[in-house]
Homo-oligomer: A and B are copies of this chain.
Amino acid sequence: MRTGTKGVPRLDREAQIVAVACRRFGEQGYAGTSVADVALAAGISKPLIYQYFGSKDGLYVVALREAAAVLVAEIERTAALGAVGIERAVLTLDGMFRVLEPQPWLWRLVFDPSAPRTGEVAEVLAEHEERLVVLGTDGVRDLLELVGNDDPDDLSALRAVWENAFRTLVGWWLDHPGTTPEEMTARCERLLATLFGGS
């Protein structure tokens, strides 16, 4: 590739790099993606990424922030609708499927188990986890209060179970690309109804 400028303004280039990085990090994971990889996919060279983002983690933080903002905002939007119980759960799942449909890789980017747990990345991760814990606890609390259970550890564990059920359903959907958001929402509704209504 020839050396010298191509006339692309910094902000445009940054946006392009971040878009490519979101996809790569999301599809291959943090550990499975090298900076050279992102550079190649973006059609530029590695030093440009270092010039604009400082380090691999610097780039990752920006991509992560962008992806997490989209997903958390969607969850907070549906939470604010005021539904409760199964209805709230289904609404949240439905919103997530719709947001993810055009860019499914955002999901695994935000919940990447290979992301580093140090430095600024850890801070960003902790920040979003915090918000999800608040929302999840909120959605799950009345279930326990209904049966007179006010044990905080029970609440913590139940919240964890719900969060992971949510993640599992989204993960299942991502692993079955033929399924539309509508179909998947209907499936979730059926399953949740079975769990809570049955036996």
Residues of A within 8 A of B (CB): 31, 85-86, 113-114, 143-144, 146-147, 149, 151, 153-154, 156-158, 160-161, 163-165, 167-169, 171-172, 176, 187, 190-191, 194-199
Contact = CB atoms under 8 A, between A and B. Distances in A.
A199 B85 contact: yes
Copies of this chain, count:
2
A198 B160 CA distance: 19
The 4 nearest A-B residue pairs measured at CB: A113-B113, A164-B168, A164-B164, A157-B172
Given A113-B114, A161-B169, A187-B154, A147 B31 contact: no
Given A176-B153, A190-B154, A146 B196 contact: no
Nearest to A112: B113
A138 to B, nearest CB: 17
Nearest to A155: B191
A157 B199 contact: no
A156 B168 CA distance: 11
Contacts of A161: 165, 168-169, 191
